[in-house]
């Protein structure tokens, strides 16, 4: 927290200093300095994360829990210390509520199979929105097939916004679960999750928030949000791939059967009966991604070491700048113009297919994503096969965005 | 490798003005091709005169590489026999994937696609139409073929 005296003064965010933490940002691509504008797909790692993983691999690796030898105890301490950091980071009530998983996708599948599947009966409904990532659609379709429940989809509007009343209108007596993104990966829309969660709660509907795109951009407090489940991935918040977190309210997690069986999730096994371990281990069968968790803990420390308010303001300035310079380009249309947006711009250029644009920009060292962004229903809504998406992190610069705009102009000329 | 080698004039021209583009009714074979990675979708329709491709048209949406490749393909295989077209498919496949392969003479304008092999992520864009055509030609009953995908 800043003191009021400081808050009155515009804080300058020192991008150059932040960039020095990220070695890859200094590399050249095709003879040009890399402009990494694909953070929505995966963010880069700071030295702190790289070093934490390296140190773990070099000095401390062993299997965690149960080992009586030094390395096992060190590895266990590092792994569990990371859980404590994550617990604080999202302000969970207890470390029992922080389950390490492979990523957001696994977290949603865990809830679908372990929470929803045993509870749903034919006629029950799961409510999602039209702008979800496939990871927040398909697991629910699967559980609907398994239980006879119905998937209900709340609409978006032409700006890519989700309106509270359009969602609540679909919350009926049979709605058992409401799942939505905190931030849309394809459009950047920030959803009014606090109000949506409150509306669901008032109707006794369980809530899951896909926070994969939110956690890198904003402070997330799960108690303040009031959701039952919150899922996010390590690699989008400057940590390693293959690790993520499922936050769940302890009472709900306690009521759920394990998701996978195996080692670590048990207290005692005989062929007659197995006694499951308590939280959070009940949901962490098998040897986990220990180095990934250690790296994720380091990513949390890195983020907490930043002035996140200033970082957020810088990202907003990047978004405003990108929207302004791209909108000046003739034949370019920004897709997703919600009033509240995270720092990404999805767009199409008449006469230039996004894939050609991606290749042409890469020639200039500029990395963007092109395609359907694992959100085909969003593309269908806008009647587009694909978009180009530039997604920013706090380490991006205005100059990189100007290079993006110049590259788009070059592509336009090539295909004119 | 320069961008200009990928987007050669022939490619840009066939993207801007795709040849044999549109519906073909009635067709003896109609096969849909889909590249789930990028959302490219196209339909290739054939009219056969015994063993010969007497007419071929395509429609759909895709990037410049995919559109130009399909356009060039229709020009190249029209009038050829099934076996000749499949032989050409193999040559194009080599051209797109094998660095050592010198462009064969019989490729003609199709040689313009050789720049694609420097861009591994784009090879599927160029080959989608060819896989779709091959599927139609190899089937004894192409009317009921499932869609082809690049995945």
Looking at chain A, the whole-number percentage of residues with pLDDT higher than 70 is: 97
| Shortest alpha-carbon distance between residue B116 and chain A (Å) | 11
Bridge pairing between strands A366-367 and A369-371: unpaired
Mean pLDDT (whole number) for B75-97: 94
**Nearest CB to B119 within list A359, A370, A386:** A359
B101 to A69, A150, A219, B97, B121: CA distances (angstroms) = 58, 54, 54, 9, 19
Distance CA B105, CA A404 (A): 40
Helix (H, G, I), strand (E, B) or coil at A233: strand
Contact A414 B38 (CB under 8 A): no
Contacts of B122 in chain A (CB under 8 A): 355, 359
Distance CA B104, CA A334 (A): 44
Q: For residue A4, what pLDDT band results from cuts at 50, 70 and 90?
A: very low
Domains of chain B: 3-149 (3.90.1010.10)
pLDDT at residue B143 tops 60? no
Hey, CA dihedral for A157, A159, A165, A171, is it positive or negative? positive
Contact A359 B15 (CB under 8 A): no
Contact B125 A355 (CB under 8 A): yes
In this predicted structure, what is the pLDDT of residue A411?
96
Residue of B nearest to A412 (CA): B12
Contact A353 B62 (CB under 8 A): yes
In this predicted structure, what is the pLDDT of residue B40?
84
Distance CA A311, CA A368 (A): 21
Q: What are A180's two structure tokens?
A: 């939505």
Q: What residues of chain B, 7 to 26, have a C-beta less than 8 Å from chain A?
A: 7, 12, 15-16
Q: For residue B37, what pLDDT band results from cuts at 50, 70 and 90?
A: confident
- If phi over 0 gives left and psi between -120 and 50 gives alpha, with beta otherwise, what is residue A45? beta
Mean pLDDT across chain A, nearest whole number?
95
Contact B16 A415 (CB under 8 A): yes
Distance CA B86, CA B93 (A): 10
Residue from A29, A359, A387, A412 to probe the interface with B (highest B Cβ count within 10 Å): A359
- Phi, psi torsion values for B45, nearest 5 degrees: -120, 140
For helices A308-327 and A398-415, angle between their N-to-C axes, nearest 10 degrees: 20
Looking at chain B, the whole-number percentage of residues with pLDDT higher than 90 is: 62
In this predicted structure, what is the pLDDT of residue B14?
96
How many H-runs (helices) and E-runs (strands) does chain B carry?
5, 4
In this predicted structure, what is the pLDDT of residue A1?
41
Q: Which residue has the higher pLDDT, B141 or A318?
A: A318
pLDDT at residue B105 tops 90? no
Q: How many CA atoms lie within 13 A of A127 on its CB side?
A: 25
In this predicted structure, what is the pLDDT of residue B82?
93
Contact A359 B12 (CB under 8 A): no
Contact A356 B65 (CB under 8 A): yes
| Shortest alpha-carbon distance between residue B113 and chain A (Å) | 14
Mean pLDDT (whole number) for A385-413: 97
Helix (H, G, I), strand (E, B) or coil at A209: strand
- pLDDT tens digits for A139-197? 999 999 999 999 999 999 999 999 999 999 999 999 999 999 999 999 999 999 999 99
Mean pLDDT (whole number) for A64-83: 95
Residue of B nearest to A369 (CA): B38
Other CB atoms within a 10 A radius of the CB of residue A406 amount to 15
Mean pLDDT (whole number) for B28-54: 89
Q: Is B147 on the interface with A (CB under 8 A)?
A: no
Domains of chain A: 4-33+307-415 (3.90.1150.10), 50-304 (3.40.640.10)
Catalytic residue ranges of A: 374
- pLDDT tens digits for A101-141? 999 999 999 999 999 999 999 999 999 999 999 999 999 99
Residue with tokens 């077209």: B85
Tell me A24's DSSP state: G
Distance CA A367, CA B38 (A): 16
Q: How many CA atoms lie within 13 A of A38 on its CB side?
A: 18
Q: What are B133's two structure tokens?
A: 């055509």
Q: For residue B140, what pLDDT band results from cuts at 50, 70 and 90?
A: low
pLDDT at residue A50 tops 80? yes
Residue of B nearest to A415 (CA): B12
For helices A354-363 and A398-415, angle between their N-to-C axes, nearest 10 degrees: 120
- If phi over 0 gives left and psi between -120 and 50 gives alpha, with beta otherwise, what is residue A169? alpha
Distance CA B46, CA A396 (A): 50
pTM reported for the whole predicted model: 0.93
Q: For residue A66, what pLDDT band results from cuts at 50, 70 and 90?
A: confident
């Amino acid at each position: 927290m800043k003191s009021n005296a400081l808050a009155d003064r515009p804080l300058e965010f020192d991008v150059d200093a932040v960039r020095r933490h990220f070695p890859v940002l200094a590399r050249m691509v095709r003879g040009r300095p890399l402009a990494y504008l694909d953070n929505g797909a995966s963010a880069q790692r700071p030295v702190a994360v790289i070093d934490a993983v390296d140190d773990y691999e070099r000095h401390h690796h062993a299997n965690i829990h149960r080992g009586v030898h030094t390395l096992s105890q060190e590895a266990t301490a590092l792994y569990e210390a990371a859980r404590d950091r994550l617990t604080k980071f999202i302000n969970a009530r207890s470390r029992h509520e922080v389950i390490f998983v492979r990523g957001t996708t696994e977290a949603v599948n865990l809830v679908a199979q372990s929470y929803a599947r045993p509870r749903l009966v034919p006629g029950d409904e799961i409510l999602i929105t039209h702008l979800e990532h496939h990871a927040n659609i398909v697991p629910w379709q699967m559980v609907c097939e398994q239980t006879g429940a119905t998937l209900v989809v709340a609409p978006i509007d032409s700006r890519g916004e989700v309106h509270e009343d359009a969602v609540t209108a679909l919350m009926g007596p049979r709605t058992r679960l409401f799942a939505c993104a905190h931030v849309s990966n394809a459009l950047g829309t920030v959803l009014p999750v606090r109000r949506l969660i409150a509306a669901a709660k008032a109707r006794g509907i369980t809530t899951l928030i896909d926070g994969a795109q939110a956690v890198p951009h904003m402070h997330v407090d799960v108690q303040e949000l009031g959701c039952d489940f919150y899922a996010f991935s390590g690699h989008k918040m400057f940590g390693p791939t293959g690790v993520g977190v499922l936050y769940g309210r302890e009472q709900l997690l306690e009521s759920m059967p394990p998701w996978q069986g195996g080692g670590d999730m048990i207290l005692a096994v005989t062929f007659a009966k197995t006694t499951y371990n308590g939280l959070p281990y009940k949901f962490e069968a098998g040897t986990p991604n220990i180095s990934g968790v250690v790296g994720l803990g380091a990513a949390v420390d890195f983020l907490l070491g930043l002035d996140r308010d200033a970082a957020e303001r810088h990202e907003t300035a990047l978004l405003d700048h990108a929207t302004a310079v791209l909108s000046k380009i003739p034949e370019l249309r920004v897709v997703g113009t919600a009033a509240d947006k995270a720092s990404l711009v999805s767009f199409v250029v008449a006469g230039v297919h996004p894939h050609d644009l991606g290749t042409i920009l890469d020639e200039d060292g500029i990395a963007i994503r092109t395609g359907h962004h694992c959100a085909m229903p969003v593309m269908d809504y806008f009647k587009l096969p694909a978009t180009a998406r530039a997604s920013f992190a706090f380490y991006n610069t205005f100059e990189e965005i100007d290079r993006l705009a110049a590259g788009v102009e070059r592509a336009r000329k090539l295909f004119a | 490798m320069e961008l200009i080698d990928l987007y050669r004039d022939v490619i840009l021209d066939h993207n801007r003005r795709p040849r044999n583009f549109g519906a073909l009714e009635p067709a003896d074979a109609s096969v849909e091709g889909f590249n789930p990675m990028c959302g490219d979708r196209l339909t290739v329709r054939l009219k056969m005169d015994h063993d010969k491709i007497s007419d071929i048209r395509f429609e759909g949406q895709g990037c410049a590489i995919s559109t130009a490749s399909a356009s060039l393909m229709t020009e190249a295989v029209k009038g050829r026999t099934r076996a000749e077209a499949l032989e050409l498919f193999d040559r194009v496949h080599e051209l797109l994937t094998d660095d050592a392969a010198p462009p064969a003479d019989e490729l003609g304008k199709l040689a313009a696609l050789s720049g694609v092999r420097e861009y591994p992520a784009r090879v599927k864009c160029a080959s989608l139409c060819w896989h779709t055509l091959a599927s139609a030609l190899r089937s004894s009953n192409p009317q009921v073929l499932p869609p082809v995908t690049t995945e």
